[in-house]
Structure 1
């Protein structure tokens, strides 16, 4: 197995170390964040993002020699880096600070994400919450788990399916084209509640642990979703694109829907496509 127990533990340890050394000090010492905009004023990068990605990349390259590192900030500097993922025996996807807007604005809802791929298929993923010191993680042959800061673990399990009007979830409405947002808001009103944390790391946590039922996302950057989708699926959930295709980390177009099981996923899909 490419990601054995020792490799997985090294991934978790690397996330924890970088969180302690860079991310937490960056958040608590906000005057020196070096905040810059990328695509727009809501798409931010900080000095902490770049430093965390560099340090975590070096740590994971030691765990997976020869692995192709695809980091959010590295791709921002050179988009061609992403093209090497599908053909790589070992791919290392890094989101050094997921929820950078929250992080940069003093909102303590952010995380760190790593996914390991094998020829473009996700085989392991981990999400770390540095402020609380805990994790969710999954390995294709092991399952999905929550690990507390003291090392205590529990299996993750998605929520049971319910009727549409009794389900709650995440809808990343601002990521959808403007001309689709009004219809999306109307369809979202059919559910008990929808929200958006501006942070995939926490959204995946809540649906993988069964606190909420579904999520709908656009803007499919692989570092935002590869780890979370695997963890959600290993916790019993079902994922796919609204167009009907399976999700994989190389898929950057379309809308990604996660639900409790295939049947409820289809019901959710009908709501969001206007068929139900």
Structure 2
């Protein structure tokens, strides 16, 4: 169903989609042009490793310029630059390179994330992996998956049992204390586990190749743009306690409601045992 939301600048499904695509196009020269080159890498953390590159910073600026030109009254929340607060209820969410560790390692599972929230709820999202030419775009409850601008049929799998689930998390090191024990128990019951996929895992879930993604320590920019993609594909995504996931923290995304419920039960029981 097409969506039209009252906004000082006038917002429709078409203008949202055009802005998301224009933002991805603007970022591509900064990201793809530097991928698999020898980049200087800065560490945002004094303890641990949270890499950022010139490509991250420049790509986000290019996306911000697109949004500001089209919707100057809207807020912008980004990974690399300060939040732009406004009086409206709309915020664009940007992670210019989700998966910078993969990016600096030459592994094409990073992606550009751009989303739109209304009163804190994600209503549209895009993930583009420019090296593979793939894009997932969700607007108005509809999902379009393309590869080199050609449409690709996309839907979540029908897996309902954890024992049959192809499962992913970016890094088990992101779990701590009871969370780590819960992940250990859940992953032991899954069919298989793949690591290090960042945002790409969620889009593979939306495309029916992964069935379950479980993570912790997420920021809003890591997950909010992906929520409309997962939901439009027929999947379900929440926090570990069943709430909305837009603000980050823990996250569980599943292909089916039955799989989501079983995974939630395993996590909950494991946490209660601590």
Q: Which residue of 2 aligns with 1:23?
A: 31
Q: 1:34 aligns with which of 33, 37, 40?
A: 40
Residue pairs, 1:54-69, within 5 angstroms: 54-69=61-76
Q: 1:224 to 1:252 in 2, by over 3 A?
A: closer
Q: CA deviation at 1:184?
A: 2.1
* Backbone CA RMSD of aligned residues: 2.2
TM-score by length of 1: 0.86
**Count of paired positions:** 260
Structure-2-length-normalised TM-score: 0.87
Deviations 1:150-179 (A, max 9, x none): x22245311102322111111342211156
Uncovered stretches (5+) of structure 1, i.e. residues with no partner: 76-80
The answer to whether the 8 A contact 2:129-2:135 is kept is yes
Deviation at 1:240, TM superposition (A): 1.5
Higher alpha-carbon deviation: 237-246 or 222-231: 237-246
Which of 244, 264, 273 aligns to 1:269? It is 264
Equivalent residue number for residue 5 of structure 1: 14
Q: Which moved more, 1:264-273 or 1:153-162?
A: 153-162
Q: Which segment is superposed worse, 207-216 or 41-50?
A: 41-50
Segments of 5+ residues of structure 2 without an aligned counterpart are: 5-10
Partner Cα separation in structure 1 for residue 23 and residue 154 of structure 2? 22
Alignment of 1:238-249 (within 5 A): 238-247=236-245, 249=246
Q: Could you say which residue in structure 2 is the equivalent of 1:215?
A: 213
Which structure shows the higher strand fraction? 2
Matched, 1:196 2:195: yes
Shift of 1:218: 0.8
Aligned partners of 2:223 and 2:248 also within 8 Å: no
Q: Do 1:144 and 1:155's aligned partners in 2 also have CA atoms closer than 8 Å?
A: no
Match of 1:259 in 2: 254
Report the more deviating stretch, 9-18 or 205-214.
9-18
CA-CA distance at 1:186 after TM superposition: 3.3
Q: Encode CA deviations 1:211-232: one digit per residue, 9 max, x unaligned.
A: 0111111112111101112110
Tell me the alpha carbon deviations over residues 189-243 of structure 1, each in whole angstroms, 9 at most, x when there is no partner. Answer: 111101222422x111110001011111111211110111211011111122221
Q: Report the 3-state secondary structure (helix = DSSP H, G, I; strand = E; otherwise coil) of the residue aligned with 1:211.
A: coil
